Amino acid sequence: MTHLACSIIVPTFNERANMEPLVDRIAAAMGSAPFELIIVDDDSPDRTWEVVEALAVTRPWLRAYRRVGKRGLASAVIDGFSLARGANLICMDGDLQHDPQIIPQLLRALDEADVAVASRYTTGGTTGTWGGVRLWGSRLATSAAQRLLSVATTDPMSGFFALRRPVFIATASALKPRGFKILMALLHRAPTARVADVPFSFGIRVHGNSKLDSGVLLDYLAELWDLRFGERLSSTFVKYAMVGLSGVGVQLLALHLLRMIPALRTGESGWASALAILIAILWNYTFDNRWTFSAQRHRNLGPWLVGLSRFTLVCSTGAFISWSVGQGLRLVTHGMMNIYFASLFGIAVATVWNFTLNRRITWTEP
Ligand code: GDD
Ligand code: MN
């Protein structure tokens, strides 16, 4: 199979107004070098793909790939790389924040390296107009990635990079399409790849909006966790346990507040603790649905309620197991084991049980 010199992959979502200048600037930057440009658009409501199709009529090197029923930056890039025919692959944003004039430098860097990164943090690079929280968050994310994974670039978060085709071929099946830090995952899976940084200044977005919101930081930490520790302990379980722990706090707080209501104080506060448990269940379900299992999230009222009843059922069996384990431990140790210690064991076993069942029953994998 003969390869083109280079394939440029651009993931897009609602970037209609940016397409014509992007395509023109890439063509100008490439000059007479042969290349193909694949725009991977996730069926944007603003019909970005349609604009690209129109532009492609007079540009044989341009293709629009309209992905229907799929959403996600990393998975778009992986799909684009898979379609690409170039010996070198390039990934860049479609909102003009990545200056196409850097492309020839990235390609030249590939003479000596396997991966070339357009870096904001190497000498000569800048983060553009970013300030405050975003800059701080980005720095934090970068140093966390460098410490936890051995990634040999100053900017593992960059969305602008080039690589030799074999690097993608070798790592593709290990890449998680759910993530969005595709470069970080790639470098982690290709530890022997030679990496070169090319200084780059992040541009300003003129049209449209960024799709990366503040939730992205939490998702990023989860992704980092999975790359580093995922084989031993999945981030989904860590999230589940964190929500569970917060639920304990909520239950105790609710109990405290409910006991201030005179009517609930009678009967040894049995009603207050029952209500507090219900509140904690609702709390846990809401956050597990939105965060822990966000990929399988129940959005409409019907499925949401079905999920809630399954969750409640599962957690009730968990409570029974928790109680049994605690009692059992006391029994076999002839009451020698501290009751709190025994309960802690019970809670740990029940957490694993609840997690396993909820993942299979309440939030079934799509
Ligand atoms: N196909 C597809 N599907 N494309 C998407 C999706 C999606 O779900 N979400 C975003 N994109 C496209 C956007 O249309 C844009 O072309 C590109 O991906 C980057 O998205 P932005 O929303 O502009 O991201 P950003 O500017 O906030 O973040 C950029 O800089 C970060 C560095 O701090 C990206 O390059 C990040 O990857 C990078 O980490
Ligand atoms: Mn952007």
Give the pLDDT confidence of 21-74 residue by residue, as tens digits: 999 999 999 999 999 999 999 999 999 999 999 999 999 999 999 999 988 899
Cα–Cα dist 212/143, whole Å: 19
- Ligand 1 in contact with 93 (CB < 6 A)? yes
Tell me, in angstroms, the distance from the centre of ligand 1 to residue 210's CA: 7
Is 150 within 8 Å of 184 (Cβ atoms)? no
- Ligand 1 in contact with 221 (CB < 6 A)? no
Task: For 302-337, write each residue's pLDDT tens digit.
Answer: 999 999 999 999 999 998 998 898 888 888 888 888
Cα–Cα dist 112/8, whole Å: 20
pLDDT of residue 63: 97
Is 351 within 8 Å of 308 (Cβ atoms)? no
Tokens encoding 57 = 């009529």
Cα–Cα dist 93/208, whole Å: 13
Q: What's at 175, amino acid-wise?
A: L
Report the 3 state secondary structure along 266-295: CHHHHHHHHHHHHHHHHHHHHHHHHHHCHH
Is 167 within 8 Å of 88 (Cβ atoms)? no
Task: For 230-275, write each residue's pLDDT tens digit.
Answer: 878 888 999 999 999 999 999 989 988 988 888 777 666 578 888 8
pLDDT of residue 266: 64
Angle at 338 between CA 334 and CA 344, to 5 degrees: 115
Mean residue pLDDT of the chain comes to 90
pLDDT of residue 1: 45
- Ligand 1 in contact with 184 (CB < 6 A)? no
- Ligand 1 in contact with 208 (CB < 6 A)? no
Would you kindly state where each structural domain of the chain is located, as residue ranges? 6-229, 235-362
Tell me, in angstroms, the distance from the centre of ligand 1 to residue 76's CA: 10
- For 142-150, which contacts have Cβ atoms below 8 Å and span 24 or more sequence positions? 144/221, 144/224, 145/181, 145/184, 145/224, 148/224, 148/227, 148/228, 149/184, 149/187, 149/188, 149/224, 149/227, 149/228, 150/188, 150/191
Q: Which ligand is nearest to the CA of 220?
A: 1
pLDDT over 90 for what percent of the chain? Answer: 59
Tell me, in angstroms, the distance from the centre of ligand 2 to residue 72's CA: 14
Cα–Cα dist 167/165, whole Å: 5
- β-bridge partners, 88: 6, 164
Query: Which residue, 230, 227, 232, is CA-closest to 148?
Result: 227
Sign of the alpha-carbon dihedral angle for 121, 127, 132, 134: negative
- Ligand 1 in contact with 210 (CB < 6 A)? yes
- Ligand 1 in contact with 73 (CB < 6 A)? yes
| Probe residue for ligand 1, chosen from 10, 12, 129 as the CB with the greatest number of ligand atoms within 8 Å | 12
Residue showing tokens 């000059």: 31
| Probe residue for ligand 1, chosen from 68, 212, 221 as the CB with the greatest number of ligand atoms within 8 Å | 212
Task: For 166-219, write each residue's pLDDT tens digit.
Answer: 999 999 998 876 666 899 999 999 999 999 999 999 888 888 888 776 667 777
The atom number, within ligand 1, closest to the CA of 10 reads: 16
- Ligand 1 in contact with 19 (CB < 6 A)? no
pLDDT of residue 131: 66
Is 296 within 8 Å of 364 (Cβ atoms)? yes
Task: For 281-305, write each residue's pLDDT tens digit.
Answer: 999 999 999 989 988 899 999 999 9
Cα–Cα dist 196/35, whole Å: 22
Q: Which residue has the higher pLDDT, 142 or 214?
A: 142
pLDDT of residue 214: 64
- Ligand 1 in contact with 76 (CB < 6 A)? yes
Could you confirm whether domain 6-229 is CATH 3.90.550.10? Answer: yes
Q: Which ligand is nearest to the CA of 211?
A: 1
Task: For 340-353, write each residue's pLDDT tens digit.
Answer: 888 888 889 999 99
